[in-house]
Amino acid sequence: MIKYTASVAETMHLGEALGKRVEKGTTICLTGDLGTGKTHFAKGFALGMGIRDHITSPTFTIVNEYHEGRLPFYHFDVYRVHDADEILDIGFEEYVFGQGVTLIEWADLIESILPDSFIHVNLEKTENPDERKITIRGVGQEYDYLKELE
């Protein structure tokens, strides 16, 4: 599925719509260049999961945990990671295969350790500086609730 958003608010709204639908054990992999809106999408996603905390990208801490939503939410930013083993060392598999939902910004940097099934969200700039082309697809399995976003 491909969606176009015309503002930060619309990008967040699309993230929120997905956050309302995801199920326990789902991994969301965000990709896209700097400034394409990955963190804004993640903020909307957290809102959709019922999380009202201030969401920031965990660029330096690698992972932020949120537990007050309808499911535990684990927000990774692996931009500064130089080796997938760094992520494994902090218990990555316990997050991904646990009881919550995991969202990974810059997921393409740790492709070798991603689970077999995940939702891939790619954000791209267009010629319009405020517009984003957002491609969402299931990898490794069907996610029926993605059809509700169309």
Q: What would the pLDDT profile of 131-142 be if each residue is shown by its tens digit?
A: 999 999 999 998
Place of tokens 């700097």: 34
- In tens, the pLDDT along 70-118 reads 999 999 999 988 788 888 988 999 999 999 999 999 999 999 999 999 9
| Model pLDDT, residue 150 | 79
Residue 58 CB: number of other CB atoms within 10 A? 20
In this predicted structure, what is the pLDDT of residue 80?
A: 86
Residue type, 24: K
Task: Check: CB of residue 30 under 8 Å from CB of residue 1.
Answer: no
Query: Which residue range(s) make up the domain with 121?
Result: 2-149
- Residue 50 maps to which CATH number? 3.40.50.300
**Whether the Cβ atoms of residue 96 and residue 102 lie closer than 8 Å to each other:** yes
Q: What is the pLDDT of residue 83?
A: 83
Q: How far is CA 24 from CA 19, 34, 41, 130, 148, in A?
A: 11, 29, 19, 33, 18
- Tally Cβ neighbours within 10 Å of residue 75: 27
Q: What is the pLDDT of residue 59?
A: 74
- Which pLDDT does position 84 carry in this prediction? 85
63/3 Cα distance (integer angstroms): 27
State the average pLDDT over residues 14-27. 96
Q: What pLDDT digit, counting tens, does each position of 30-67 carry? A: 999 999 999 999 999 999 999 998 888 877 788 999 99
Report how many domains make up the chain.
1
Q: What pTM was computed for the model?
A: 0.94
- Asked whether 77 and 58 are in contact (CB, 8 A), the reply is yes
C-alpha 30/C-alpha 133 separation (Å) is: 13
